[in-house]
Structure 1
Amino acid sequence: MAPYSVVSGARGVMDGLLADTRLHIPPEVAERAQRDVKFTGNPEPFLPVPFRIVEALAGLKGLEAAFATAIAEERYGVNAGTATVDVEHAALFLFSTFLARINGKVPNDPSLTAAGGPVKDTDIHHSFKNRYRQLATNCYRTKDGKYYYTHGSLDARATMKILGMDPDRTDLVETKDILKAYGEAVAQFTAAELDEKIQAAGLPGTICYSIDEFLATEQGKAIADAPVYELSSTPGPKVTWPSVPPNTPRQALTGIKVLDLTRVIAGPVIGRGLAEHGATVLRITSPNLPDLQGIVPDLHAGKYSAHVDLDTAEGRATLAALVRDADVLVDGYRPGSLARRGFSRDAVRALNPALVYVRENCYGWRGPWASRAGWQQIADAASGVSALYADKLGHAGEAIQPIFPSADYGSGAAGVVGTLQALYQRARAGGVFDVDVSLLQYNLYELSLGLYPDAVWERVRAPAERLRHNWDVVMMMGGVGPSLRAARPELFTRADLWQVLAAPTYGPEGSVRILRPVVRFAHLPVELGKGPSQNGDDAAAWPALGK
């Protein structure tokens, strides 16, 4: 029997996407994918998870390449040539935010984040400045022997208070002591009791279900048959592609304007993916809301960033003006948040009938839990992914978060594909398009691809064997990072995988080192035109093309 190959697996994933009639892939795009997309790289898996997370991501990148090829030919009459997707490059993309560097240092280096340092402090509720508040986001055992994933979100205080934890305690500083305190607090509740309190308060959190248990819930039933992304449309006129000024790179999306109203990872991946193909992406942030600045170097490279306060009439007027001239709006906030401020899909369509509206959430867009708050860890715990991972590690009955945020990156990648498809079809045949993606939707899709054969899993599992349910993402990446570098040291130094961009936001000589775009063409540029902007660096106006 031939050895297992990630390269062949990625090709199989793309072929499966092309054959999925729910996605309505245009036949000419499917033909390009089959003819022009090539998967390369070391075929041996090396990430210590049993799920086909690399194959899933790489397959989506292959479909992304096919749409970009079709758009370039439609716009410019050029043949982009062979597209390549390196599976090892795709593997690094699944944890790229952890690999970024600012001025040669990790983004949370004290010299960067201290008062007066170049990294803006957007952790206004101090949820990430100390381990005590950080570990409000973790998995703990409940009184009835089940497991519950609590999440402090960007303001841990509300979750901590439900658990009876004083947010202002200063005596707990060691991780082991903090874990013990949270463990004891959660153990005062059954899983159902804690979930009732968390959901009543509108906070993120979930019982850790098995796959079968989740699929038996009303939410599981509602999204069980959802594709990896959902594209819907109503009749509308064709929208011609914007003209490209002389001496401006002709990328697939040059001149397309994208409003990025997202935070954390999944939503920002969509905007970054569109920026890689030349779109002008303007990220809108609030001066009054917390954010994660650690992801800015990587996931907001290529973007502009402006503050707009949507709780003011002036801010709403500013966003309305931007919407009128946009091609795409990416909404990554909790379902209903923008609608409450006057920017529902119907409201923005009144301003701009041709706008492509892209939504990303945790639980999916149907079912009783659709409006719940959620994060990657919540999606893993709710869907049964965490329970299955624990079982594969020999800890049956526990729930262990898989190390890599594949649902974040994967649902973001799916959103990129859906947006490219919407823009392509809008120009060719006309229509008004909506794109929906979700973390749980992606997890169910990823699970449908199956697990690695046992022999493959035994080869890659070693670095993860000692993980347990109450290891948060900081502990996990610290625990497996050295093993990954030891397994494939060349990946972390290969010049063709990394790029350094000037980033004046981090000082006169500021720079960021980030992963290059995964998709590459022989004759079509896929590149980020600028370094990242931090929140509020830029004007709330569309920049001139090429500036």
Structure 2
Amino acid sequence: MTGYNVQVESQQILAHTIVDSRLNLSPEVKEACGRVTFHGDSNPFIPTPCKITESCSALSGLVGALASVAAKERYGIDQKVEIDTDKATLFLMSILLPTVDGKSFLANDVIAEAISEADKFDMGKHIHRQCTNVYQCKDGRWFHLHGSMNAAKAMEMVGVPEQDVSAEEARYIYMEKVAQWNSEEIDRTANDVYRQAGVICNTPEEFFESPQGKIMGEEPVYTMTPVQAPHKVWPQTDTDGYKPLAGIRVIDFSRVIAAPAISNLDNPEIGALLVDMSTGKRDTALNLKSVDGKRDFDRLVKDADILIDGFRPGVLDRLGYDAKSLRTLSPSLILMRENCYGFKGPLAYRSGWQQISDCLVGISWLQGKAMGLNEPVVPLLPNSDYQTGLIGAAAAIQALLTRAKDNVTFDIDLSLTQYNIWYYRLGQHKEDVWQAILERNPGFEVRHYDEMASLTGKTYRTVLASRPGLLQNPAYYMSMSGKEWGVDGDISILAPPFNLEKSKIGYDVPSGKRGRSRPDWR
């Protein structure tokens, strides 16, 4: 790869990010970004044409820099931020990596039983799983059908009955059904009639020419709207570990990789994500349609610093918790919303998932064409989910830093689509770099019908082959207690993607079964 270097490109992307004046990053944060260092394999190794390692490394550097500024303001310490770009890449598949006694967490019977309880609608069944996939329509365009957490409505829409078939048989069933629809018709029916996620697979050019693309294309990677509010200083804590966010209280009203947390236990969830994605969190079951649930939620909000809302736009509002109501309970509360399409434009009302935004913006067409195919292929990992999370973490710390100095709080909006637009605009690998990546991954093949479980599995296996020993590097992992899952001993999980020179970075609370915690902050 003549002249290409992952670490140099990561540094340039970080510099590109902080000079966006719309983000209003302080001089202190910009100076801290200059102290971020990158190391690792200088050549990219994930077989995708976009700069996936470089993007994740740069955003991890931004989060780390903001955290270092928070630690300096709280404890008076200066420190460098270090990013291992290989470890940052593994962050994008962290849900696959937990182990118990050296074996995959999925092989542990106790954990497997606990996480299976979250799958309320048997989404592992082939006829259900293949409902979430890319299929070609009658007019030649491609559509990402999505069964969400319960495939029943999408199956009803396209006319697929319950049946026990193989994965391949299920794919062909959906191929035949979707081929009977024109793309515009199935897109409208899915979103407006059945209220299900689904989207036409655009090329990037098609997206940026669309009304949604023209509007969201003008937005920064996240938006922060200041709201006058009482000054709120950092909480008083001891200096043990110089933890940047010690004492900060966050209500996470979301699920899946966006962050599984406060929800009714009757709600479905992708259970296999919980071991990794719920680290650092207590999980309580609240029914916000009940008197008791509202009482408990009100009590939590009163002492919260941040509330993250990752459900369909308007859900909290309809439950009686709009911004005004929430800030009546907690005047300096930072409110963060995350969705798929963005909060502006004609498609803002739609629900969506990572794959939907990837297909909307054109990232899926980039992947397919890079593989020599005339079809879109969903990116290989839940990349936009993870990296939107990094963006949200950066925005949250920025808001906390500002709130600690001024009489202000913030409404923060971010979306998978805002990230994907930014990601696309970083540019794609040049032909010589892309060919070198393919040479590192001989025999790697993907198609439009590879759904997310298939794609992550193929990517995991190709990393095992192309980077022997990387996934087993003990320096990349940390341990947490398995007691909240009912497991004796510890669970090994991937550590955070950045290191600070002096501050301790990690999770004080282990993950565990859903609904295990009382609805209080103790």
TM-score range, shorter chain: over 0.9
**Equivalent residue, structure 2, for 1:126:** 122
CA contact (8 A) 1:232 1:434 kept: yes
Deviation (angstroms), 1:118: 4.1
Deviation (angstroms), 1:490: 2.4
Deviation (angstroms), 1:511: 3.2
Deviation (angstroms), 1:506: 2.4
Range with greater deviation from structure 2 (256-265 or 95-104): 95-104
Matched, 1:390 2:372: no
**Equivalent residue, structure 2, for 1:203:** 196
Structure 2 counterpart SS, 1:119: helix
Structure 2 counterpart SS, 1:284: coil
**Equivalent residue, structure 1, for 2:513:** 534
Deviation (angstroms), 1:528: 1.2
Deviation (angstroms), 1:163: 0.9
Q: 1:496 to 1:179 in 2, by over 3 A?
A: same
Gaps of 5+ in 1: 269-282
Deviation (angstroms), 1:22: 0.7
**Equivalent residue, structure 2, for 1:72:** 71
CA contact (8 A) 1:101 1:297 kept: no
Deviation (angstroms), 1:120: 5.3
Matched, 1:32 2:62: no
Q: 1:464 to 1:480 in 2, by over 3 A?
A: farther
CA contact (8 A) 1:491 1:497 kept: no
**Equivalent residue, structure 1, for 2:348:** 370
Match of 1:98 among 96, 99, 114: 96
Looking at structure 2, the residues matched to 108 and 490 of structure 1 have their Cα atoms a distance apart, in angstroms, of 21
Q: Any idea what the Cα deviations from partners look like across 1:386-433, whole Å, max 9, x if unmatched?
A: 11211111113x111110111101111000000000000000223121
In the TM superposition, what are the counterparts of 1:406-445 in structure 2 within 5 Å?
A: 406-445=383-422
**Equivalent residue, structure 2, for 1:257:** 249
Identity %: 32
Counterpart residue type for residue 251 of structure 2: L
Matched, 1:159 2:158: no
Deviation (angstroms), 1:322: 0.5
CA contact (8 A) 1:261 1:329 kept: yes
Deviation (angstroms), 1:465: 4.9
Matched, 1:8 2:1: no
CA contact (8 A) 2:6 2:43 kept: yes
Counterpart residue type for residue 464 of structure 2: R
Matched, 1:212 2:190: no
Match of 2:288 among 301, 310, 330: 310
Q: 1:145 to 1:392 in 2, by over 3 A?
A: same
Q: 1:493 to 1:405 in 2, by over 3 A?
A: same
**Equivalent residue, structure 2, for 1:274:** none
Looking at structure 2, the residues matched to 125 and 218 of structure 1 have their Cα atoms a distance apart, in angstroms, of 35
Structure 1 counterpart SS, 2:469: helix
Deviation (angstroms), 1:96: 1.1
Matched, 1:187 2:183: no
**Equivalent residue, structure 1, for 2:434:** 457
CA contact (8 A) 2:341 2:352 kept: yes
CA contact (8 A) 1:48 1:464 kept: no
Looking at structure 2, the residues matched to 101 and 135 of structure 1 have their Cα atoms a distance apart, in angstroms, of 28
Q: 1:352 to 1:56 in 2, by over 3 A?
A: same
Gaps of 5+ in 2: none
**Equivalent residue, structure 1, for 2:43:** 44
Structure 2 counterpart SS, 1:285: coil
Q: 1:353 to 1:427 in 2, by over 3 A?
A: same
Looking at structure 1, the residues matched to 105 and 148 of structure 2 have their Cα atoms a distance apart, in angstroms, of 19
Deviation (angstroms), 1:21: 0.4
Looking at structure 2, the residues matched to 500 and 418 of structure 1 have their Cα atoms a distance apart, in angstroms, of 28
Counterpart residue type for residue 348 of structure 1: L
**Equivalent residue, structure 2, for 1:87:** 85
Counterpart residue type for residue 417 of structure 2: L
Q: Any idea what the Cα deviations from partners look like across 1:114-150, whole Å, max 9, x if unmatched?
A: 6xx343501112223x122111100011111111101
Looking at structure 2, the residues matched to 11 and 298 of structure 1 have their Cα atoms a distance apart, in angstroms, of 28
Counterpart residue type for residue 431 of structure 1: V
Match of 1:344 among 322, 325, 328: 322
Matched, 1:322 2:316: no
Q: 1:287 to 1:477 in 2, by over 3 A?
A: closer
Q: Any idea what the Cα deviations from partners look like across 1:181-216, whole Å, max 9, x if unmatched?
A: 111111111111211210121110001111111112
CA contact (8 A) 1:48 1:463 kept: no
Q: CA RMSD in A?
A: 1.7
Counterpart residue type for residue 88 of structure 2: A
Match of 1:221 among 207, 210, 214: 214
Looking at structure 1, the residues matched to 309 and 27 of structure 2 have their Cα atoms a distance apart, in angstroms, of 29
Looking at structure 1, the residues matched to 487 and 428 of structure 2 have their Cα atoms a distance apart, in angstroms, of 48
Deviation (angstroms), 1:479: 2.7
Structure 1 counterpart SS, 2:284: strand
Q: Any idea what the Cα deviations from partners look like across 1:146-175, whole Å, max 9, x if unmatched?
A: 111011101110001101011x323x1x11
**Equivalent residue, structure 1, for 2:450:** 471
Deviation (angstroms), 1:288: 1.9
Structure 2 counterpart SS, 1:389: helix
Looking at structure 2, the residues matched to 134 and 413 of structure 1 have their Cα atoms a distance apart, in angstroms, of 28
Structure 1 counterpart SS, 2:109: helix
Deviation (angstroms), 1:112: 4.3
Range with greater deviation from structure 2 (257-266 or 100-109): 100-109
Matched, 1:244 2:215: no
Q: Any idea what the Cα deviations from partners look like across 1:456-478, whole Å, max 9, x if unmatched?
A: 10111345752111111222233
CA contact (8 A) 2:13 2:58 kept: yes
In the TM superposition, what are the counterparts of 1:499-538 in structure 2 within 5 Å?
A: 499-538=478-517
Counterpart residue type for residue 410 of structure 1: Q
In the superposition, the TM-score normalised over structure 1's length comes to 0.92
**Equivalent residue, structure 2, for 1:175:** 167
In the TM superposition, what are the counterparts of 1:475-486 in structure 2 within 5 Å?
A: 475-486=454-465
Q: Any idea what the Cα deviations from partners look like across 1:337-361, whole Å, max 9, x if unmatched?
A: 1111111222211211100111110
Q: Any idea what the Cα deviations from partners look like across 1:500-521, whole Å, max 9, x if unmatched?
A: 2112122240532211011111
CA contact (8 A) 2:111 2:487 kept: no
Counterpart residue type for residue 131 of structure 1: H
Looking at structure 2, the residues matched to 508 and 537 of structure 1 have their Cα atoms a distance apart, in angstroms, of 14
**Equivalent residue, structure 2, for 1:276:** none
Structure 2 counterpart SS, 1:436: strand
Counterpart residue type for residue 26 of structure 2: P
CA contact (8 A) 1:260 1:329 kept: yes
Looking at structure 2, the residues matched to 2 and 193 of structure 1 have their Cα atoms a distance apart, in angstroms, of 47
**Equivalent residue, structure 2, for 1:277:** none
Looking at structure 1, the residues matched to 519 and 229 of structure 2 have their Cα atoms a distance apart, in angstroms, of 29
Match of 2:141 among 146, 151, 156: 146
CA contact (8 A) 2:46 2:459 kept: no
